[in-house]
Amino acid sequence: MGSGEVISQTGAIGAILAYALGGLIAYMVMLCLGELAVHMPIAGSFGEYAGRYINPATGYMVAWMYWLTWTVTLGTEFTAAALLMQEWFPHVPIWIWIVIFAATVFFLNISSTRFFAEAEFWLALVKVATVVLFIILGTAAIVGIIPMQGYDTAPLLSNLTKDGWFPEGFWPIFATMLVVNFAFSGTELIGVAAGETENPEKNIPRAINAAIWRLLIFFVGTIIIVSALLPYQATAVNDTHGLSHSPFVSVFSRIGIPYAEDLIRFVIITALLSAANSGLFAASRMLWSLSSTQKLPAVFSRLSRTGTPMIAICVTMMGAIPGLLSEFYAPEVIFTNLLNIAAFTMVIVWISICVSQFNFRRQWYKSGHTVSQLKFAAPLYPLTPILGGIFCVLTCLSMATDSNMRASFIGCLMIVALCYISYFISVKKTKH
């Protein structure tokens, strides 16, 4: 949903570079995670990896950060989906749609794993099919096979440099990296599911290698097409038409696709529900992990008849509550602040993955093992975890430079500090 804003702030080439760099960062993090997950496939893995290969306090903090990432994301997904529904049904209060979407996602998560996976498959399929259609039609419009409103001849790639290579300078590329990186959030779910994956030695590396192509095609590919077909100044979300009036709507409309705005609105809603569905799964498993390692009461690791951590799911659903406040406060403000918090906490988890893999490999070598003995090894060690970690740190710092994000940045740092304090208090109580 933020791609249009990124293009309008950075220019065409700047946006392509930003998303390419975001994909590279995500891929480096996934390589680090893949090595850890194949060596130690457990559910709720990030906190365990950080606890073992950084220190227990950081492991505790990371587990809570990842839980907070997806719990807060639930609020953003439900609020955004409700705002989109209100464009269709302006007289229905936002909170009603939030309750409906929350109940739907909750039901999917407490059902059997098979039913959950089936629902997630169809939700994701709608998004994937639309992106593929967009890439095919967009490419045809670029080369002139399909006529496009506003062009007498094939536009080709003239829009990319029409206003210069970097019309807004280099700084916006850095400033938008948090939004760009958050677009790639969810790639680390392979680590959450590692403990529930059959034959992780084979399936996890396959998932990682397939992911890089999806990242390049779906993210960078669509950004190239939007940038080639629209002037970069025309890609920002139009406040008059709402969230669904994205650059994708503009491209579909100019190509001549009927009901383009309604189509994109439907696709965005299904994508939001898909993300919320996966997020609730991931966050509840993180609570389950904290409970199974005795950092939370045993009730959080108790499973239902369908094999789902019911209490953990119910507690995580509290992330929908901030969305309900949108009926009384400005929903766009709530959405933006929740998004900033979710993006920051996600990048903190990514940093921990890079540091954990760096320390794991060092311990592996010190114990006399070789890289050939690893069933899956991240290439170019130590460059991969070092670069991945540095880029993630820079992404977090970009949040501090933006006046609109600074309050969220300070709040997130306070949450990190609170996690460490609560850990040491709990350890002290345990000793006594």
pLDDT at residue 117, rounded to an integer: 72
With a pLDDT cut of 70, the percent of the chain lying above it is 89
Is the predicted pLDDT of residue 238 greater than 60, yes or no? no
Residue 235 has what pLDDT? 63
Beta-carbon contacts of residue 319 (< 8 Å; ≥ 6 apart): 70, 71, 72, 73, 74, 75, 283
Tokens of 54: 């950084």
**Phi-psi domain of 145 (left: phi exceeds 0; alpha: psi -120 through 50; beta: other):** alpha
Question: In angstroms, rounded to a whole number, what is the distance separating the alpha carbons of residues 59 and 134?
Answer: 41
Q: Report CA-CA distances (Å) from 313 to 272, 283, 303, 340, 341.
A: 18, 8, 10, 23, 20
Average pLDDT over residues 250-275: 83
Instruction: Give the model's pLDDT for residue 393.
Output: 93
The pLDDT of residue 236 is 62
The fold for domain 3-431 equals Amino acid/polyamine transporter I (1.20.1740)
Query: Is residue 181 packed enough to be buried (19+ CB in 10 Å), middle (13-18) or exposed (0-12)?
Result: buried
Token match 């130590």: residue? 382
Which residue intervals of 230-330 are DSSP H helices?
Answer: 247-255, 260-292, 310-316, 321-324
Is the per-residue pLDDT at 243 higher than 60?
no
Percent of the chain at pLDDT exceeding 90: 16
User: How does the average pLDDT of the chain come out, rounded?
Assistant: 82
More confident site: 198 or 395 = 395
Angle formed at CA 322 by CA 19 and CA 106, multiple of 5 degrees: 85
CA-to-CA distance for 328 and 185, rounded, in angstroms? 29
* pLDDT tens-place string over residues 73-100: 888 888 888 888 888 888 988 888 988 9
- Range with the largest mean pLDDT of 1-15, 175-189, 239-253, 269-283: 269-283
Distance (Å, whole) CA 206 – CA 218: 18
Give me the long-range contacts of 345-348 (CB less than 8 A, separation at least 24): 345/65, 345/66, 345/68, 345/69, 345/72, 345/412, 345/415, 346/66, 346/69, 346/181, 346/182, 346/185, 347/178, 347/181, 347/392, 347/395, 347/396, 348/62, 348/65, 348/396, 348/412, 348/416
Q: How far is CA 331 from CA 86, 337, 385, in A?
A: 12, 10, 38
pLDDT for the residue numbered 341: 85
Of 70-84, 153-167, 392-406, which gets the smallest average pLDDT?
153-167
More confident residue, 262 or 154: 262
Q: In the predicted model, is pLDDT for residue 338 greater than 80? A: no
- What average pLDDT does range 246-267 have in this prediction? 80
pLDDT at 20 over 60: yes
**Would you place residue 53 in the very low, low, confident or very high pLDDT band (cuts 50, 70, 90)?**
very high
Q: Residue 292 CB: number of other CB atoms within 10 A?
A: 17
d(CA 259, CA 297): 51
Within 8 A by CB and 6+ apart from 165, the residues are 11, 13
Pull the structure tokens for residue 154: 């094939």
- Find where tokens 């606890």 sit: 51
Model pLDDT, residue 131: 84
Highest mean predicted confidence (pLDDT) among 65-74, 108-117, 330-339: 65-74
pLDDT at 342: 84
193 vs 208 pLDDT, higher one: 208
Residue 48: its pLDDT value, please? 85
pLDDT at residue 360, rounded to an integer: 95
Tokens of 75: 């609020």
Residue 208: pLDDT band with limits 50, 70, 90: confident
CA distance 22 to 16: 10
At residue 391 the predicted structure's pLDDT band, cuts being 50, 70 and 90, is very high
Q: Is the pLDDT of residue 28 over 60?
A: yes
Higher-confidence position of 370 and 75 = 370
More confident residue, 66 or 253: 66
Residues 6+ apart with CB under 8 A from 252: 134, 137, 260, 263, 264
pLDDT value of residue 50:
92
Structure tokens at 83: 């705002």
Show the CA angle centred on residue 182, arms to residues 250 and 398, nearest 5°. 105
Q: How far apart are CA 152 and CA 161, in angstroms?
A: 19
What is the three-state SS of 332-383?
A: HHHHHHHHHHHHHHHHHHHHHHHHHHHHHHHHHHHCCCCHHHCCCCCCCCCH
Burial 61-95 (b: 16+ CB within 10 A, else e): bbbbbbbbbbbbbbbbbbbbbbbbbbeeeeeeebb
Residue pair 306/299 in contact (Cβ under 8 Å)? The answer is: no
pLDDT of residue 359: 96
- Rounded to 5°, angle at Cα 252 from 251 and 257: 155
Grade residue 192 by pLDDT with cuts at 50, 70 and 90: low
Token pair 């080369």 is found at 143
